[in-house]
Structure 1
Amino acid sequence: MTFFKADDTWALWTILIAWAAVSIYLEQKYNWAAKISGAIIALLGALILANLKIIPTDAPVYDAVWGYIVPLAVPLLLFKADLKKIWKESGRTFLAFNIGAVGTILGAFIACFLLSKFIPEIHKAAAMMTGSYIGGGVNFVAMSEAFKASKNQVNALIVADNLNMAIYFMILMAIPASSFFKKHYGHPYEDAVEKQDKASAGSEGQNKAASYWGRKEISLLDIAEALGMTFVIVFLSVKFCAWVNATNVSPVIKSILGQKYFVITTLTVVLATLFPKFLGEIRGAQEIGTFMIYIFFVVIGAPADLKVIILNSPILLVLCLIMVIVNMLVTFSVGKLLKFNVEELCIASNANIGGPTTAAAMAIAKGWTELVLPAMLVGVWGYVIGNYLGIFTGNILGKLFGM
């Protein structure tokens, strides 16, 4: 039993939105919180509330966030995603991201060979985590449906995944300041931030997150255009996907054009590329979209019941851990050979494991403003390819283990 019940709608909405606001406040007011990032604070806060039995681990309100808030946030965050800029501004990060995706798949294979005797239907878990650790939560859900995973396996894996992500994001935040990585990798973005910090030393100023999200001139028309456009884009995308899924087209076409996040992303990017002046100059879209994503971060922390992990999910936590470690090793070792900067590799690995929003949040928290858009763009690319690579991995592993 929890203090607030699953059907206590107003209370749960209040907690989600209020804690998202508190997370942003802490991130912008305190340097320790900025280093952790508001995204992690939002996730950990929900984890604590859930484990103290204050909020439930499952509720219709959480489903509403998944079903409405997240789809509406995606276009808002992509209004500046002009394809002409993608190739110019995210080229190296894009390559690093795809190297990390290979690491995720390799990690899935290694984890299955090591743990197949301990996890029933391990290929389904591997498929879900491959989709998630290349794309994001939407790919995880898609893989769970594609492989018809049991609800118990899905819930246990969500818990293990959320805890694992929170730990890994903290590690990634610490890596750029590590003497080992500074010695063996280039770090131009960190150097620029340190130089800027020294230049502003002694003056009263805001931390990096507060500076990035500082007040901007915004009009009622900006808000109207931002929300109006994102609702239109999501509406058209959802209706189009429903129409595709209702037709007798091939399963391959349905797997692409019947996926709402693929269509939402594609439509937004096309519009942003064709009309960069209109969409790119709408003020407030990124701020509204980011606040929606912070609400989502609170939601993904809620299912992380530590008691469930201890009793039912420890071996699944190991599976997630192996996949993340291999992703990190492949990303940073190949990145070293190709002379990538440590910041690019951290952003790429973050985008693999957590998706575009956590990667962008890290770039903002670290003051790497030039990497914010690449972080968002490569993370969205993960949404696109996550399902395909998850299905490929699950099918191959299913055949290898005779399932």
Structure 2
Amino acid sequence: MSHTLIKPDDTWLLWAFLTGWAAISIYLEQKYKWAAKVSGAIIALVGAMLLSNLYIIPTEASVYDAVWSYVVPLAIPLLLFQANIKKIWNESGRLLIMFFLSAAGTTAGAIIGFFLLKDAIPGLEKVGAMMTGSYIGGGVNFAALATKFEAPGQLVSAAVVSDNMMMALYFFVLMILPAIHVIRKRFHTPYIDEAAKASNAENQASSYWKRREVSLKDIALSIGTAFTLVAVSFKMAELFGTMIPSGENETFIFNVLHGILADKYLMLTTITVLVVTIFSRFFEQLNGAQELGTFLIYLFFVVIGVPASITLIFQKSPLLLVFVAIMVLTNLCVSLVLGKLFKFSLEEIILASNANIGGPTTAAAMAISKGWTKLIVPILLIGTLGYIVGNYVGSAIGYWFSTF
């Protein structure tokens, strides 16, 4: 760290880098077609990875910790402001089924990988929890579960490297999947056919993230509500944590209740969704929350790319890359097989798998870049639901794996 151009204590320079590179990634995505196809999220990840490996920026700094501690918790409610459970089911019920089929593939991959490699990788039960949550929800779940299971820093860094490398590779695979003749002829592709008829002169990412009317009141209410939800949720989780006993001497039920109710991220997710569903009219009238939450998540994409030292994974645990590859490959195989069985379109299968592995941001980015306009809002809604499901399934997997 001491040999990097920007030092760990150069706080303002590091914040300038995080926000600046996130802004550049978004700009490139909306300006150029090649960047829109890659997606701004991948650009943010890869750019940070390259700069850290070239010793321009440090791999550890208090600024990065602040993103994990404050930015991620604030991003969760802002992105969940659209997570009206009733609306998700009414508007996206079909795609929701495909999402859960794909999530079953993620879970199966975690179980297969764990039992194949648990004796070879120390701490794999923690990685299994983090990656299950991440590959059903997204980076937010990875951060939440890494904190929940108190995963060691080096293990988290190695997992991040494996995750980033595999995720970037997988997105490219998903991008080219519709062009593979063997795949294309076995699935119906109505959205690809429709996009082919439309003009492709306009950058789809730029079109989707066009200017919207956002007032000072919208920003104030969005941020104020997000802060309030985080504060109330974290305080409630803290209170439950002191009230409900846990430990080796306690019963299984108490430990499960403690794990659920004392988990600040599960509490935040649950309370936000309940509030959004009950007061749906208030949240539907707020503009700008999705944009604010998405920008904060871009900061997180940059941060998780920073510790991705290419040499670290080969030095510490090259088998972690094998583990995440098993998870991703199983997700893809299960998604394609079950998607074909239940007669889903290739586009629905690809986006459901993307929403699992990368979250709603990358799935929506792919739908936008491909011109599958009718699927953009549904996959955003369902990918947002993945933030909720991912934490619960990841927690369950983590507790189960820890018994071995």
**Is the TM-score greater than 0.5?**
yes
1:148 and 1:264 mapped to 2: Cα distance?
Answer: 18
Corresponding position of 2:53? 51
2:310 pairs with 1:306 = yes
Counterpart-to-counterpart distance in 1, 2:214 and 2:148: 43
Shift of 1:230: 1.8
Alignment of 1:363-378 (within 5 A): 363-378=367-382
Aligned-partner Cα distance in 1 for 2:70–2:219: 18
1:71 Cα offset (Å): 1.8
Distance in 1 between residues matched to 2:118 and 2:273, nearest whole Å: 40
Query: In structure 2, what is the equivalent of residue 90 of structure 1?
Result: 92
Task: Say how many residue pairs are matched.
Answer: 394
* Structure 1 partner of 2:228: 232
Q: Does the CA contact (< 8 Å) of 2:266 and 2:391 recur in 1?
A: no
Identity score, percent: 53
Shift of residue 49, structure 1, vs aligned partner: 0.7
Q: Which residue of the other structure, out of 52, 66, 70, is the alignment partner of 1:68?
A: 70
- Paired with 1:123 and 1:275, the residues of 2 have a C-alpha distance of 38
Contact conserved, 1:93 with 1:347, CA < 8 A, in 2?
Answer: no
8 Å Cα contact 2:121/2:317 also seen in 1: no
C-alpha distance in 1 between matches for 2:233 and 2:28: 35
* TM-score, with structure 1 as normaliser: 0.89
Report the CA distance between 1:397 and its aligned residue: 5.0
1:142 CA drift (Å) = 5.2
Q: 1:258 aligns with which of 250, 262, 281?
A: 262
Instruction: Give the whole-Å Cα distance in 2 for the aligned partners of 1:370 and 1:359.
Output: 13
8 Å CA contact 1:135–1:379 kept in 2: the answer is yes
**Matched ranges for 1:233-312 at <5 A:** 233-248=229-244, 250-312=254-316
1:353 and 2:354 correspond? no
Q: Which moved more, 1:28-37 or 1:97-106?
A: 97-106
Partner of residue 172, structure 1: 174
Conserved? CA contact 1:159–1:303, under 8 Å: yes
Mapped to 2, the partners of 1:22 and 1:124 lie a distance apart of 33
State the distance in 1 between where 2:192 and 2:183 align.
Answer: 12
Structure-2 residue corresponding to 1:103: 105
CA contact (8 A) 1:28 1:206 kept: no
2:249 is aligned to none
Structure 2 CA distance for partners of 1:19 and 1:149, relative to 1, 3 Å: closer
Q: Per-residue CA shift, 1:10-61, capped at 9, x if unaligned?
A: 1111011111111111111111111111111111111111111111122211
> Structure 1, unaligned stretches of length 5 or more?
none
Q: Which moved more, 1:27-36 or 1:158-167?
A: 158-167
Distance 1:272 1:396, change over 3 A: closer
Residue 18 to residue 347, structure 1, CA distance change in 2 (3 Å)? same
Q: 1:29 to 1:255 in 2, by over 3 A?
A: same
Please tell me the residue identity of whatever aligns with 1:166.
A
Per the TM alignment, residue 143 of structure 1 is displaced from its structure 2 partner at its CA by 4.7
What is the CA-CA distance between 1:145 and the residue it aligns to?
5.8
Question: Are the structure 2 counterparts of residues 339 and 146 from structure 1 closer, same or farther at C-alpha, using a change threshold of 3 Å?
Answer: same
CA distance in structure 2 between the aligned counterparts of 1:395 and 1:272, rounded to whole angstroms: 29
Residue aligned with 2:292, SS: helix
**What secondary structure, in the 3-state scheme, does the structure 2 residue paired with 1:184 have?**
coil
Distance of 1:181 and 1:298 partners within structure 2? 33
- For 2:18, the equivalent position in structure 1 comes to 16
- After TM superposition, the structure 1 stretch with the greater mean CA deviation from structure 2, 187-196 or 57-66, is 187-196
Aligned-CA RMSD value: 2.4
Which amino acid letter does the alignment assign opposite residue 247 of structure 1? M
1:211 aligns with 2:196: no
Distance 1:32 1:325, change over 3 A: same
Contact 1:20 1:291 in 2 (8 A): yes
89-98 or 313-322, which moves further after superposition? 89-98
Contact in 2 for aligned 1:19/1:298 (Cα 8 Å) = yes
Corresponding position of 2:117: 115
Query: Which amino acid is 1:280 matched to?
Result: E
Change (3 A) 1:375 1:254: farther
Contact 1:29 1:206 in 2 (8 A): no
After superposition, the Cα gap between the structure-2 partners of 1:62 and 1:27, relative to the gap in structure 1 and judged at 3 Å, is same
What is the Cα deviation at residue 231 of structure 1?
1.9
SS at match of 2:328: helix
Residue 306 of structure 1, CA deviation = 0.5
Equivalent pair of 1:107/1:324 in contact (CA under 8 Å): yes
| Secondary structure at the counterpart of residue 90 of structure 1 | helix
Aligned to 1:5, the other structure's residue is in SS state coil
Q: What SS does the corresponding residue of 1:353 show, helix, strand or coil?
A: helix
Give distance in 1, aligned partners of 2:243 and 2:402. Answer: 29
1:385 aligns with 2:381: no
Q: Report the Cα distance in structure 1 between the residues aligned to 2:114 and 2:231, rounded to whole angstroms.
A: 40
Deviations 1:241-291 (A, max 9, x none): 222222226332332233333333333333333333321122222212211
The aligned residue for residue 32 of structure 1 is: 34
1:188 to 2:217 alignment:
no
> Which amino acid in 2 is paired with 1:368?
W
SS at 2:198 equivalent: helix
- Greater Cα offset, 47-56 or 80-89: 80-89
Match of residue 248 from structure 2: none
Deviation of 1:144 after TM superposition, in Å, equals 4.6
Distance in 2, matches of 1:296 and 1:72, equals: 11
- What pairs up with 1:97-176 in 2 under 5 angstroms? 97-141=99-143, 143-144=145-146, 149-176=151-178
